[in-house]
Amino acid sequence: MSKIVCVKKFPNRLEAELAKSLLEAEGIMARVSADDSGGMEMMPIQLVGSVELLVLEDRLREASSILNKRAK
Protein backbone atom coordinates (compact mmCIF):
# COMPACT_ATOMS: atom_id res chain seq x y z
CA MET A 1 0.00 0.00 0.00
CA SER A 2 1.32 3.40 -0.99
CA LYS A 3 1.71 6.07 1.66
CA ILE A 4 0.37 9.62 1.46
CA VAL A 5 2.93 12.37 0.82
CA CYS A 6 2.95 16.12 0.29
CA VAL A 7 3.32 17.10 -3.36
CA LYS A 8 3.30 20.87 -2.73
CA LYS A 9 2.71 23.46 -0.01
CA PHE A 10 0.54 26.52 -0.57
CA PRO A 11 0.12 29.82 1.27
CA ASN A 12 -3.67 29.46 1.42
CA ARG A 13 -6.50 26.95 1.07
CA LEU A 14 -7.90 28.46 -2.14
CA GLU A 15 -4.68 27.85 -4.10
CA ALA A 16 -4.43 24.32 -2.72
CA GLU A 17 -8.05 23.54 -3.64
CA LEU A 18 -7.49 24.79 -7.20
CA ALA A 19 -4.41 22.58 -7.56
CA LYS A 20 -6.37 19.65 -6.12
CA SER A 21 -9.05 20.14 -8.78
CA LEU A 22 -6.39 20.19 -11.47
CA LEU A 23 -4.92 16.90 -10.29
CA GLU A 24 -8.32 15.27 -9.95
CA ALA A 25 -9.18 16.31 -13.52
CA GLU A 26 -6.10 14.30 -14.55
CA GLY A 27 -7.25 11.25 -12.57
CA ILE A 28 -5.01 11.74 -9.52
CA MET A 29 -6.72 11.57 -6.15
CA ALA A 30 -5.58 14.42 -3.91
CA ARG A 31 -6.38 15.83 -0.50
CA VAL A 32 -5.86 19.24 1.07
CA SER A 33 -4.46 19.29 4.59
CA ALA A 34 -4.43 22.51 6.61
CA ASP A 35 -4.47 23.41 10.25
CA ASP A 36 -7.29 25.93 9.75
CA SER A 37 -10.38 24.07 11.00
CA GLY A 38 -11.60 23.34 7.48
CA GLY A 39 -11.34 26.98 6.44
CA MET A 40 -13.36 28.17 9.43
CA GLU A 41 -10.38 29.58 11.37
CA MET A 42 -10.04 33.28 10.77
CA MET A 43 -6.32 33.45 11.60
CA PRO A 44 -4.04 33.87 8.58
CA ILE A 45 -2.58 30.52 7.54
CA GLN A 46 0.91 31.97 8.06
CA LEU A 47 0.21 31.92 11.80
CA VAL A 48 -1.05 28.35 11.93
CA GLY A 49 1.12 26.67 9.28
CA SER A 50 0.99 25.97 5.60
CA VAL A 51 -1.60 24.22 3.46
CA GLU A 52 -0.38 20.94 2.00
CA LEU A 53 -1.63 19.12 -1.07
CA LEU A 54 -1.34 15.37 -0.51
CA VAL A 55 -1.22 12.51 -3.01
CA LEU A 56 -0.35 8.83 -2.94
CA GLU A 57 3.40 8.34 -3.10
CA ASP A 58 3.20 6.28 -6.29
CA ARG A 59 1.55 9.26 -8.07
CA LEU A 60 3.93 11.89 -6.66
CA ARG A 61 6.10 12.29 -9.74
CA GLU A 62 3.12 12.57 -12.09
CA ALA A 63 1.32 15.03 -9.80
CA SER A 64 4.41 17.17 -9.43
CA SER A 65 4.88 17.27 -13.19
CA ILE A 66 1.27 18.38 -13.73
CA LEU A 67 1.56 21.14 -11.15
CA ASN A 68 4.90 22.32 -12.53
CA LYS A 69 3.54 22.53 -16.08
CA ARG A 70 0.58 24.54 -14.83
CA ALA A 71 2.84 26.97 -12.96
CA LYS A 72 4.76 27.92 -16.13
Give the whole-angstrom CA distance, residue 26 versus residue 12: 22
26 is in which domain, residue-wise? Answer: 4-71
Could you tell me which residues are beta bridge partners of residue 6? 54
For residue 2, what pLDDT is reported? 85
For residue 63, what pLDDT is reported? 98
Long-range CB pairs of 68-71 (<8 Å, 24+ gap) are 70/19, 70/22
Q: 21-69: per-residue pLDDT in tens?
A: 999 999 999 999 987 655 555 555 455 568 999 999 999 999 999 999 9
Give the whole-angstrom CA distance, residue 43 versus residue 12: 11
Give the global pTM: 0.80
How would residue 18 be classed by pLDDT, with cut points 50, 70 and 90?
A: very high
Instruction: Count the domains in the chain.
Output: 1
Give the whole-angstrom CA distance, residue 63 versus residue 25: 11
Q: Look up the CATH number of the domain holding residue 10.
A: 3.30.70
Q: What is the CA radius of gyration of the chain?
A: 12
